[in-house]
Structure 1
Amino acid sequence: MGALKHLTEDYATIDASFLQFCESRGILSVEDFLVHDVCMLVASAEQFSNSDRLKQGINQLLSIVETCHQPWVKGLVLLEDREQNKHCLSTGCKSFDVLLQGGLREGHVTELVGPSSSGKTQLCFQVASNVAMKLGSVVYIDSGNSFSPTRIKQIVSRISGSVETQVSGILQQAMRNIECHAVFDIYALLNVLHQLNSNLESQAGYKVRMIIIDSVASLIAPILGGSNAQGHALMSSVGYLLKKLADRHNIAVVVTNHMVSGEGGILKPALGESWKNIPHVRLQFSREHAANIYGVCILKHPYMASGRSANFMIP
């Protein structure tokens, strides 16, 4: 999904007149189309001399949306894919990896939730450094201008335990394997994810082991509120894309989310019930009293009991 103008080359019915018809109604993307009443659009199209052509374009968009649904797959095929292609990527924190039986799994969207200074970003730096050093490419999407090459250097130096000349080479390799994108709104995020999916589909040999979004809440929260259907549709599009990238390309996706005050003042993850169903794994972080000691608790996991917890340290 994406901007309608990108569909003109592949679909003849989505032409300049159809784009003009959509733009006059504030429809610039497939996401915009999803939040409009299709019956009302058809009724509007019937007022034009080229109504049949416009209605063909509407039906074409409906077909495109329909093809986004995954076909049915036999359970045995899913099991074989899980065992053969979906590996665990070590975070480099032993107790964290033990809790998750190996680390962050490819094919999963893992959400790190917690209040400010609870270790979410530090864990992102830690796992990005470990994967980039040992396994391959990491796409780091930074929404708060908080990505720190200096912190990555510290972590790489500590993990490698090598002499200074060797650290320099290892650091250069790690930094080459981290592709950082600064994004500051939901539309920029969708553009990066669409481009990433296009590169993975079209470029032979292009492989990404992990995607990190720190933080997804700061990009999505501004478009939500009340009964904002368009905002929720855009949020669903982000969730769909992340799951698609994770599953189809065997990528471990990590997103961070903050906490908000819920009923009775009790803190809960932001973005509401609709977003709650998107991550496969949800981990809650907390800061212990000791310096650099963090706590992590499993809130949701496909095959692990909720409530299991551990402490971990990131020097």
Structure 2
Amino acid sequence: MTLLQSLEREFPIIDANFQQFCASHNIFSVEDFLVHDLYVLVAFAEHHATSKELKQGITRVLSIVDSQHQPWLNGVELLEDAKLNKHVLSTGCEGIDVLLQGGLHEGRLTELVGPSSSGKTQVCLHAASHVAQNYKGTVMFLDTSNSFSTKRIADIISCRLRSSFKQVNGRTLAGVMSNILCHPVFDVFTLLDVLHQLEFELRAQVKNEDTRMRLLIVDSISSLITPVLGGKGSNGRSLMISVGFLLKKLANEHNISVLVTNHMVGGEGGNTKPALGETWKTVPHVRLLLSRDHRSNIYNVSVLKHTCMASGQVGRFIIQD
């Protein structure tokens, strides 16, 4: 769901006056705009002192929709796109890479679910450092609960660098860390703003393998969405769907691998289940369950959902403290 407010920076005609006019007709997003009777909307605009500007705003929103419409692709074209543009990124966690046949696939949204202290953030930090070190491009880490640790990142990278020369393939510790961008995000509205801004920047960016974004991490997605869920209204669910849609759109259109984490909640019969419910369950392309052996650094990962493999497959790996 693209909010009209998020378009004002790029398209000044969609200003506060236009947004207020649309809001008076319960139109707050592009999706609301599309399901509204445009003839009626234009008729109402005619009676305003700024009718010319309002009609220009309507035309602009329609042009935005047209420009973002993706052409239909047949099976051969989709396969060619997957081969040429959708690469696989190793996470640095051998058990996960083997399980996923190489690692995190670009163009897909992968979700790590697990209880507290199961290692979700550790996997994210390892994936961020490994991708930044071994692939051209950048990693963005959206930190929702102060889980991002520069010291831990530095330790992980340093362990992989040659102790004598402190570099691999010409990359130093500082060089690798400069390719990891961390952005604190503490509510779902800020997250949507960040994702919309990222989408705008990626569209305007000149394609360059050295600077393009390879991996986007949100740790954790559930801590932002859970507070807005519940109650009789559907606003929380709509926000959740909007976040999922934007993440998958960024992944597909810009060949980014997206990794998010989700916590566990109580279910029927005392069993635990991933948070965010059945609606969110349909969003990730890949859903992995992470657990940790008691008092050890051995981690277990199993497939809960995957577009290309059966559920239930398992793997094990070690993360050094």
Band of TM-score, shorter chain? 0.7 to 0.9
Indicate how the Cα distance of structure 1 residues 68 and 278 shifts in structure 2: closer, same or farther if over 3 A, else same: farther
**Alignment length, in residue pairs?**
311
Aligned to 1:49: 47
Indicate how the Cα distance of structure 1 residues 8 and 215 shifts in structure 2: closer, same or farther if over 3 A, else same: closer
Structure 1 residue 228 displacement after superposition:
2.7
Structure 1 residue 165 displacement after superposition:
4.8
CA distance in 1, matches of 2:106, 2:36: 37
Query: For 1:61-140, what aligned pairs fall within 5 Å after superposition?
Result: 70-135=70-135, 136-140=137-141
- From 201, 223, 229, the equivalent of 1:224 is 229
CA distance in 1, matches of 2:272, 2:71: 38
Structure 1 residue 114 displacement after superposition:
0.5
Structure 1 residue 25 displacement after superposition:
6.8
Aligned to 2:240: 235
Indicate how the Cα distance of structure 1 residues 263 and 25 shifts in structure 2: closer, same or farther if over 3 A, else same: farther
Indicate how the Cα distance of structure 1 residues 169 and 58 shifts in structure 2: closer, same or farther if over 3 A, else same: closer
Aligned to 2:215: 210
Deviation digits for residues 85-126 of structure 1, max 9, x if unmatched? 111111112222111110111111000001100010000010
Which residue identity is paired with 1:265? Answer: G
Which residue identity is paired with 1:207? Answer: R
Which residue identity is paired with 1:183? Answer: V
Indicate how the Cα distance of structure 1 residues 183 and 50 shifts in structure 2: closer, same or farther if over 3 A, else same: same
Structure 1 residue 171 displacement after superposition:
1.4
Structure 1 residue 278 displacement after superposition:
1.0
Say whether the 8 Å CA contact 1:286–1:296 is kept in structure 2: yes
Aligned to 1:266: 271
Query: For 1:1-315, what aligned pairs fall within 5 Å after superposition?
Result: 1-4=2-5, 6-7=7-8, 10=11, 14=14, 17-23=17-23, 28-30=28-30, 33=32, 38=36, 49-50=47-48, 70-135=70-135, 136-163=137-164, 165-166=166-167, 170-204=172-206, 205=208, 206-315=211-320
Structure 1 residue 295 displacement after superposition:
0.7
CA distance in 2, matches of 1:63, 1:282: 36
Structure 1 residue 66 displacement after superposition:
8.1
Indicate how the Cα distance of structure 1 residues 261 and 63 shifts in structure 2: closer, same or farther if over 3 A, else same: farther
* Unpaired stretches in structure 2, ≥5 consecutive residues: none
Deviation digits for residues 222-263 of structure 1, max 9, x if unmatched? 111134322222212211111111111111100000111122
Indicate how the Cα distance of structure 1 residues 61 and 227 shifts in structure 2: closer, same or farther if over 3 A, else same: farther
Indicate how the Cα distance of structure 1 residues 62 and 151 shifts in structure 2: closer, same or farther if over 3 A, else same: same
Say whether the 8 Å CA contact 2:104–2:110 is kept in structure 1: yes
Structure 1 residue 274 displacement after superposition:
1.3
Structure 1 residue 269 displacement after superposition:
0.8
* Unpaired stretches in structure 1, ≥5 consecutive residues: none
Deviation digits for residues 23-75 of structure 1, max 9, x if unmatched? 457765547x47x9947xx69x8599349887996797688668766443201
> What TM-score does the superposition give when structure 1 sets the normalisation length?
0.86
Structure 1 residue 209 displacement after superposition:
0.6
Say whether the 8 Å CA contact 1:140–1:178 is kept in structure 2: yes
The DSSP-based 3-state class of the residue aligned with 1:157 is: helix
Structure 1 residue 289 displacement after superposition:
2.3
Say whether the 8 Å CA contact 2:4–2:19 is kept in structure 1: no
Identity %: 54
Deviation digits for residues 135-190 of structure 1, max 9, x if unmatched? 13100000001100110111111222423754996210111000000010111111
The DSSP-based 3-state class of the residue aligned with 1:268 is: strand
Which residue identity is paired with 1:81? Answer: D
Indicate how the Cα distance of structure 1 residues 79 and 112 shifts in structure 2: closer, same or farther if over 3 A, else same: same
Deviates more, 1:268-277 or 1:68-77: 68-77
Indicate how the Cα distance of structure 1 residues 25 and 185 shifts in structure 2: closer, same or farther if over 3 A, else same: farther
Deviates more, 1:158-167 or 1:244-253: 158-167
CA distance in 2, matches of 1:185, 1:148: 20
Structure 1 residue 78 displacement after superposition:
0.7
Which residue identity is paired with 1:201? Answer: R
Which residue identity is paired with 1:145? Answer: N
